[in-house]
Amino acid sequence: MDAIVVDELRKRYSDVRALEGITFGVRTGEVFGLLGPNGAGKSTTVKVLATLTKPDSGRAEVAGRDVVREPNAVRRAIGYVPQSSGVDRDATGRENLMLQGRVQGMSGRALESRVGEMLELLGLAEAGDRVVRGYSGGMKRRLDVGLGLVHRPQVLFLDEPTTGLDPEARAAMWDELERLAEGESLTILLTTHYMEEADELADRLAIVSRGRVVVEGTPEELKQSLRGEAVEVELGDGRAAEAEAVVAALDGVLEATVDGRRLRSRVASGARAIPSILSALEAKGIGVEAVTTHRPSLDDVYLHYTGREFAAEDEQGRAGDSGGNGPR
């Protein structure tokens, strides 16, 4: 039985359609990623699954329980780590975990033992009796994860767990999450807009755009679904549409798209295609400032299946969120 079942969920906020029939399943014991730009509907999906908001239509189950008809049973089965920190900055790490355990019905030696175990597991044992106000950003975020885990849930929701962390703290958090997934034997649903995070942590993932799942699979399966290699050309002038037509007509070019002055193509072999691409553009008098090639990435997967560039959509989503109008 899948630990999470999401079937045609729809949710609207005023005139904004946050979820447009999103559908996916998460197998028991796996780390599943929802990857998408800001505004894609990832956080709204998690809020529905965590019983923090109700869908307008569709069905969702967590640990075999319907999120609308059996919300209390769902809450007992889950841990939830939201984007914003829920720790009490004026209490110690240990006090935060003890309070959360009591809220979840734990007490006595069992609670004390579990709190000590969590502090050790999260690398906070030495800092456990210090006031959280003095913790680093990465330490606070690890404590947030501990709050979601202290009661031994079956399913853990991590909503953008490393947003706001610097690269070093983010990499350390990835290591912690990988250890937790192995050591706690639970199902994890992770939302992220970081490509490398989804690639690093997820056993399987669904790419989400505009409230829908556009493609699903393991990170490697998704990248391998794009044959060949990616070639990106930085154009020297504004003749992008003409450059796209020139490159798309070449032998060995599987597809070509433009975004501003960037021309992206997928080719059978980057080493063989680059000379042909440069020669064809030069013959038309189209200037080139730079050219790069790489094997397909999740960024390329997003572009292929949506026809839109991830970074541009992410920036638009940020603008919508800051204005209070964008689904998350």
User: Which residue intervals of the chain are DSSP H helices?
Assistant: 42-49, 71-77, 93-103, 108-121, 137-149, 167-184, 195-201, 219-224, 240-248, 270-283, 298-306, 310-322
CB 269 within 8 A of CB 228: yes
Give dist(CA 166, CA 162) in Å, integer: 9
Residue 79 Cα distances to 11, 75, 128, 162, 196, angstroms:
22, 8, 21, 17, 24
Q: State pTM to two decimals.
A: 0.85
For the chain, the straight-line distance linking the first and the last C-alpha, in angstroms and rounded, comes to 28
Give dist(CA 53, CA 300) in Å, integer: 33
Q: What are the sequence ranges of the domains in the chain?
A: 2-222, 227-295
Give the per-residue pLDDT at 121: 87
The CATH code for residues 2-222 is: 3.40.50.300
Give dist(CA 227, CA 223) in Å, integer: 8
Q: What φ, ψ does residue 91 adopt, rounded to 5°?
A: -110, 165
List per-block mean pLDDT (blocks of 10 residues) for the chain, which spans 328 residues: 94 92 95 94 96 97 97 95 91 97 95 95 94 94 94 94 86 84 86 93 95 96 90 89 94 88 90 93 93 91 87 76 49
> Residue 117 CA to chain centroid, in angstroms?
28
Question: 227-295, which class in CATH?
Answer: alpha beta
